[in-house]
Amino acid sequence: MTSKILKGLLISAFVTVSATNAMASNTSAAAVATIEKYAPDANVSALNHRQISTLMNVISSSDEGFGGKQTQVQALIRNFENGVFSG
């Protein structure tokens, strides 16, 4: 009985990890294009799902104009790259 429970937990953990990896690798082309509009030199493929979500939140919710959003997005990306802020 214990081995069945352990086997079930392992399968559940594998499915969770697989789903998380798939979600991170399936960043929409629209999100990538939007981020690159604000940070043309950014390596968006190096960002994780959480970091991309953070950037998209700044872009979509900030009251500032393009220049203000661009400054915020580029600063966040620099912080992500330097490990200062993980998103």
Q: Over its length of 87 residues, how does the chain's per-residue pLDDT go in tens digits? A: 555 554 544 455 444 444 444 455 567 999 999 999 999 999 999 999 999 999 999 999 868 899 999 999 999 999 999 988 766
**Pair of tokens at residue 18:** 């697989």
Segments making up each domain of the chain, as ranges: 2-82
- Which H, E and C letters describe 9-38, residue by residue? HHHHHHHHHHHHHHHHHCCCHHHHHHHHHH
Q: Is-contact 55 85, C-beta < 8 A?
A: no
Rounded CA-CA distance 14/67 in Å is 43
Write the single-letter amino acid at 76. L
pTM: 0.66
DSSP 52: H
Evaluate whether 80 touches 47 at the Cβ level (below 8 Å): yes
Question: Two tokens at 26?
Answer: 């399936």
Structure-block tokens of residue 23: 């979600």
